Amino acid sequence: MRRLFWLSVGAGLGIYGMRRASRLARSLTPQNVAVRAGDRLRMFTHDVRLGMQDREEQLREAIELDRVVPEPREDSPRRVLRARYAIIDDEKDGH
């Protein structure tokens, strides 16, 4: 009786192991591996795009880029700013 019990346990484990091994072998075919890699790449790019959008919103908020610029008033004086340019002579500069 004991031998019959252990024989049936061993046969059951053998069948279970063979089914698991065949499922694993089917999942590791080149086509299935490529499909899974493509899916993971799509999920990764989606996550990266969401992260980029979140960061862009944070940066826009930080520099107040989306704020509406107020219209200039007519009674306020306007100034014209002029830039000054300095020409540096390379011989005198020491380079």
Read off the pLDDT of residues 18-42 as tens digits, 9 standing for 90 and up. 999 999 988 888 898 899 999 999 9
Our CA dihedral for 26, 27, 28, 29, rounded to 10 degrees, sits at: 60
Average pLDDT, the chain: 83
More confident residue, 58 or 82: 58
Tokens of 52: 């980029």
CA atoms within 13 A on the CB side of 27: 7
* Cα maximum dimension of the chain: 108
Provide the whole-model pTM: 0.47
